[in-house]
Amino acid sequence: MPMFPTEHAVRTTPEGLLWEPSERWVRGAKGDVTVVDSRHPVLVWEPGVPVPLYAFPREEVREDLLRPAKNPPTDAHTGSRVFYDLEVAGERTENAAWTFPAADLADHIAFEWFRRVGRGLDHWYEEEEEIFIHPRDPHKRVDAIAGSRHVRVEINGTVVADTRRPVLLFETGLPTRYYIPREDVRLDLFAPTDRRTGCPYKGTAEYWSWRGEADVPPNIVWSYPDPLPAVGAIKGLLAFYNEEVDITVDGELQERPITPFSTKPSST
């Protein structure tokens, strides 16, 4: 079947930005105040940044809440020079918004996400679903598939999990994660922590750390107690960082991958 270009094809600017329109209804809020309400958002990928962000037409932004930045950064967001502080209910958030230098995006404003950089808008919604950290990438897949492989996890020679009923999570750009039923994990060897993280594809995760003496990073085990519907199969299951433990699948020891989640740099 022949393929035809569409109005949603990814475009490139001379500054190296990639962007494409999105048909999702996106809203962003600071506390209880809606700052963005857009049915014409644009996804933007900055050079060297693996995840996208949103930019919005000015008419769909509460510009009355924006003030010229008092202390604009000089090296942020691909050469942007126009930054705004956000003022809501008497509270001013510095450099919460900006415009890109690209002519294609001149009439759009982008915002920081609080849960990603510690400032900016703190609630974001696509349609009626709250999302976290960054927008979902339409060019990325996350599939959770029930399996019957024999998966064994070891830490410093101690078997901490052994199952033949994992759920395999395939996420573009990351190693396969093996989610294991709690009954098949030695959870008594781990201690729960206060760490919580949000993922736009999976939801909010809780963590456990290794109780033993081996040199193991904290928060080595995680679970999604209430995952998003698209990955509901991983609900309550436990996963380990492939980067830091030994995982054997159907008798074959898996190589520890080097990813942004690795605590030790690659030797190559």
User: Do 17 and 127 belong together in one domain?
Assistant: yes
Give me the number of domains the chain comprises.
2
pTM of the model: 0.82
Ranges of residues in the chain whose predicted pLDDT is under 70: 1-8, 264-268
For residue 268, tell me if it sits in a domain: no
**Domain limits for position 208:** 142-253
For residue 103, tell me if it sits in a domain: yes
Chain mean position to CA 29: 19
Cα-Cα-Cα-Cα torsion 131, 132, 134, 136, nearest 10 degrees, comes to -40
User: Do 125 and 146 belong together in one domain?
Assistant: no
For residue 184, tell me if it sits in a domain: yes
User: Do 108 and 165 belong together in one domain?
Assistant: no
DSSP assignment string, 142-210: EEEEE----EEEEETTEEEEEES--EEEEETTSPPEEEB-GGGB-GGGEEEEEEEEEETTTEEEEEEEE
User: Do 116 and 148 belong together in one domain?
Assistant: no
For residue 136, tell me if it sits in a domain: no
Residue 27 DSSP one-character state: E
Alpha-carbon distances, residue 77 vs 63, 164, 225 (angstroms):
20, 46, 35
User: Do 158 and 234 belong together in one domain?
Assistant: yes
User: b/e per residue, 10-43, with b = 16+ CB within 10 A?
Assistant: eeebebebebbebebebbbbbeeeebbebeebbb
pLDDT averaged over every residue in the chain: 91
Interatomic CA distance for residues 29 and 115, integer angstroms: 13
Choose the final residue of a domain: 95, 110, 131.
131
User: Do 17 and 126 belong together in one domain?
Assistant: yes
User: Do 222 and 170 belong together in one domain?
Assistant: yes
Choose the final residue of a domain: 106, 131, 156.
131
Chain mean position to CA 206: 15
For residue 261, tell me if it sits in a domain: no
For residue 38, tell me if it sits in a domain: yes
pLDDT of 114-166, one tens digit each? 888 888 999 999 999 888 889 999 999 999 999 999 999 999 999 999 999 99
What CATH number does the domain containing 52 carry?
2.170.150.40
